[in-house]
Amino acid sequence: MTAPGEPAPARTAAPRDARPAGSRVLFTGEQIRAAVERLAHEIRAAYGGEELTLVIVLHGGLVFAADLMRRLDMPLRVGVVLASSYRGTATRPGDLDIHVPPSLDLAGRHVLLLDDILDTGRTLARLTDEIRARGSRSVRIVTLLDKPGRRAVPLQADFTGFTIPDVFVVGYGLDWNERCRNLPEIVALGGPEA
Ligand code: 5GP
Ligand code: MG
């Protein structure tokens, strides 16, 4: 805040360093919006007017969830779980760390588990087991991205935005060392052409 009479701080252009050097855009904000709209349509068709419990995998699912949930018009409950499999600057999965809050009420619920990306499948397989063990009525999975070539456990999403090759992507919630989640587009940091 600026005190009355004090000059306002000089306005500088927004920093443009959020997008890592050398990265290339895979999906623009506009393409993502269209995919989210299509997914919302598929989800509405699959559940009808049934109440849904959207379980967001943090932190990666945050941006996607915020956009998707506003396009769903059935009664909706929202919960969050924590999962992390990438550590430090590594771009390969390390140990899996998951936390499902004991207070998250899943018994008898239709659960839609939402994450940014389905990669090896380990995170969502573990979370699906945990949610079922809590007595959910059904569990389905929605991810914005899918890398089927990297699957280590047999798992498929019920709703998928985009299928991509084995490239490391950031933006729209996906991080690189906790950065870049704020990018409005999805960019690839090297690897084969999409
Ligand atoms: P999985 O357990 O399926 O191997 O990994 C899922 C998690 O790994 C995702 O929720 C995401 O956090 C992370 N992940 C997998 N691939 C990528 C990627 O290309 N970029 C980023 N930023 N995270 C990824
Ligand atoms: Mg994640």
User: Is residue 52 assigned to a domain?
Assistant: yes
- Any atom of ligand 1 within 6 Å of the Cβ of 60: yes
Residues 129 and 94: their CA atoms lie apart, in Å, by 20
Distance from the alpha carbon of residue 146 to the mean position of ligand 2, in angstroms: 12
User: Is residue 184 assigned to a domain?
Assistant: no
Task: Give how many domains the chain has, as a whole number.
Answer: 1
Contact (Cβ atoms closer than 8 angstroms) between residue 62 and residue 183: no
Residue nearest (by alpha carbon) to ligand 1 atom 16:
119
CATH number where 80 lies: 3.40.50.2020
State the closest ligand 1 atom to the C-alpha of 120, by its place in the atom list counted from 1: 4
Tell me the whole-structure pTM to 2 decimals. Answer: 0.88
- Any atom of ligand 1 within 6 Å of the Cβ of 91: no
User: Is residue 83 assigned to a domain?
Assistant: yes
State the closest ligand 1 atom to the C-alpha of 115, by its place in the atom list counted from 1: 10
Distance from the alpha carbon of residue 123 to the mean position of ligand 2, in angstroms: 8
- Any atom of ligand 1 within 6 Å of the Cβ of 146: no
Query: Where do we find the tokens 């500088």?
Result: 12
Using alpha carbons, select from 158, 54, 170 the residue that is nearest to residue 111. 54
Query: Where do we find the tokens 């969502």?
Result: 124
Residues 78 and 6: their CA atoms lie apart, in Å, by 43
CA angle 171, 31, 39 (to 5 degrees): 95
Residues serving a catalytic function are: 119
Q: Which range marks the domain in which residue 158 is found?
A: 30-87+94-166
Q: Half-sphere exposure of 46 toward its Cβ, with a 13 Å CA cutoff?
A: 18
User: Is residue 53 assigned to a domain?
Assistant: yes
pLDDT averages per 10-residue partition of the chain, 194 residues: 65 64 95 98 96 97 98 97 71 76 96 97 96 98 97 97 97 95 94 52
Res 194: pLDDT? 45
Res 192: pLDDT? 54
User: Is residue 98 assigned to a domain?
Assistant: yes
100's tokens:
């499902």
State the closest ligand 1 atom to the C-alpha of 150, by its place in the atom list counted from 1: 4
Q: Which ligand is nearest to the CA of 59?
A: 2
- Any atom of ligand 1 within 6 Å of the Cβ of 116: yes
Residues 78 and 135: their CA atoms lie apart, in Å, by 17
User: Is residue 190 assigned to a domain?
Assistant: no
Chain Cα centroid distance, residue 35: 13
Give the SS3 label for residue 38. Answer: helix
- Any atom of ligand 1 within 6 Å of the Cβ of 81: no
Measured between its terminal Cα atoms, the distance across the chain in Å is 45
Residues 48 and 87: their CA atoms lie apart, in Å, by 39
Residue 67 phi, psi (nearest 5): -75, -45
User: Is residue 136 assigned to a domain?
Assistant: yes
Res 1: pLDDT? 57
Contact (Cβ atoms closer than 8 angstroms) between residue 176 and residue 149: no
Residues 39 and 24: their CA atoms lie apart, in Å, by 24
User: Is residue 181 assigned to a domain?
Assistant: no
Chain Cα centroid distance, residue 182: 12
